Amino acid sequence: MTEMSYLDGNMLDGPLRELFAVDLSAATGRCQSCGMVGPMAALHVFSHAPGLVARCPACAEVMLRLVRAPDRAWLDLRGTTFLQVPMPAQQPFPRPL
């Protein structure tokens, strides 16, 4: 891969927040290529393509692609084995009356 400038994964927060109600930059992901587990905010994000391409900081394989058109978006997570998303603690169910 040639040297290109990139932004860190924190910049994915705005574009992904439009799709998901949770902050995915706070999520943890596993790279399908090398198995590294780390924060999505650590990904190297390239915006020189028709969309955003986020690469693993360890092996540089693509973990996420996001393309936004005026009326739709495409999210490709083929390079990500899983996303672990922090969630608020589940509230106990209210007792029936």
d(CA 93, CA 67): 39
Contact 64, 78 (CB under 8 A): no
d(CA 61, CA 44): 10
In the numeric block, the tokens 């930059």 are attached to 25
- The single residue among 11, 22, 26, 59 that binds Zn ion, judged by CB under 5 A, is 59
d(CA 24, CA 67): 16
- The single residue among 17, 20, 37, 58 that binds Zn ion, judged by CB under 5 A, is 58
d(CA 65, CA 50): 10
When asked if residue 34 is in the footprint of Zn ion (CB under 5 A), the reply is yes
Segment interacting with Zn ion, rule: CB under 5 A, options 1-9, 12-20, 49-57, 83-91 = 49-57
Number of residues that bind Zn ion (CB under 5 A): 7
- The single residue among 12, 24, 31, 40 that binds Zn ion, judged by CB under 5 A, is 31
Q: Which is nearer to Zn ion, 1 or 89 (CB)?
A: 1
Give me the residues that bind Zn ion (CB under 5 A), please: 31, 33-34, 36, 56, 58-59
